[in-house]
Amino acid sequence: MSVLAIVEQRMAGEVLTAAKQFGPDVKAYSIDLPYTADAYTAAVEELIRKENPQLVVFGHTYQTRDYAPKLAARFGRVLIGDVIAGKPPVFVRQMFQGKFNADVRLVGDGPHFVSIQAGAWRAEGSPQAEAFSPSPTTSRQVAEAPFREAARAVDLTAADIIVSVGRGIKEKENIPVVEALAQALGAELAASRPICDAGWLPMDRQVGSSGQTVSPKVYIAVGISGAIQHLVGMKGAKTVVAINKDPDAPIFEVAHYGIVGDLFEVVPALVEEIRKTK
């Protein structure tokens, strides 16, 4: 199968590794333009018409999600997004925020469009892609200076121990339950994305594909299910401890130690035991 890999700086290595597994005949390009959805759609459309690939592969980035569905529609196709495994003709993609995995089969002639999730393929070697300068087109959009994140107040990457809280905590008023564990251990407090999205903890405490990537000595995940977007941010931890009331929660697949139980009972008991040792 002929594969066209569209490479951004983010996830470049992962996209190339995946593309090589999808087909032996891979051409990799980066788009040599400031990003706008209009400009990228036109540029990649031009590339596809030039290279005539059967499969187009992207990283599942914010940028891809912005323009690739429109691009796919131009070829009468859909974007198979959030792909975490598989190869042509069957890809595995996440649905309902990672609650279910679906097998999706390619049917008919290409080009087909696939975007791979961060962390699903491991980057190998140094990524190389040709910069593509498209023919000039009229665009309705004008690129502004790229958004720069504000400096982070909290550097979780330097922490030896992290206690991370997820939606199992149920409401903001309960955050002190896990905060007490972090304090008792001298740990940094972190969170899954829904906790930061809800404003229960600041954004710079988020761990995962759209947050910080951490590799502490100990990572304690409290009431966190273990969605792939969270796992990619913490799977470098030396020791992972998971506290979750669901014995089938995916977090237990990466945990070295697991406690199946209600965090509102387990965490205060742990805090009490830790305090006794001081």
Residues forming contacts to ligand FAD in the complex (CB under 6 A) are 97-98, 166-168, 192-194, 206-211, 223-225, 227, 229-230, 233, 243-246, 249, 262-264
By beta-carbon proximity to ligand FAD, the closer residue of 41 and 61 is 61
By beta-carbon proximity to ligand FAD, the closer residue of 16 and 249 is 249
Spatial separation of the C-alpha atoms in residues 192 and 208, rounded to whole Å = 7
The answer to whether the CB of 177 falls within 8 A of the CB of 169 is yes
By beta-carbon proximity to ligand FAD, the closer residue of 246 and 253 is 246
Contacts of 164 (CB under 8 A, 6+ apart): 189, 190, 191, 192, 207, 219, 220, 221, 222, 224, 234
Residue 139: CB minimum distance to ligand FAD, A: 26
Residue 145: CB minimum distance to ligand FAD, A: 23
By beta-carbon proximity to ligand FAD, the closer residue of 41 and 209 is 209
Residue 210: CB minimum distance to ligand FAD, A: 4
The answer to whether the CB of 212 falls within 8 A of the CB of 206 is yes
The answer to whether the CB of 93 falls within 8 A of the CB of 84 is yes
By beta-carbon proximity to ligand FAD, the closer residue of 95 and 143 is 95
Residue 226: CB minimum distance to ligand FAD, A: 7
Residue 124: CB minimum distance to ligand FAD, A: 23
Residue 209: CB minimum distance to ligand FAD, A: 5
Residue 67: CB minimum distance to ligand FAD, A: 15
Q: Using CB atoms within 10 Å of the CB of residue 183, give its burial: 0 to 12 exposed, 13 to 18 middle, 19+ buried.
A: middle
By beta-carbon proximity to ligand FAD, the closer residue of 87 and 245 is 245
The counts of H helices and E strands in the chain are 8, 13
By beta-carbon proximity to ligand FAD, the closer residue of 130 and 246 is 246
Other beta carbons less than 10 A from residue 153's beta carbon: 9
End-to-end CA distance of the chain: 62
Residue 202: CB minimum distance to ligand FAD, A: 14
> Locate tokens 């564990």: which residue?
181
Residue with nearest beta carbon to ligand FAD? 208
By beta-carbon proximity to ligand FAD, the closer residue of 93 and 193 is 193
DSSP assignment string, 15-67: HHHHHHHH-SEEEEEEE-S---HHHHHHHHHHHHHHH--SEEEEE--HHHHHH
Angle between helices 263-276 and 175-185 (to 10 degrees): 30
Q: What's 160's DSSP letter?
A: S
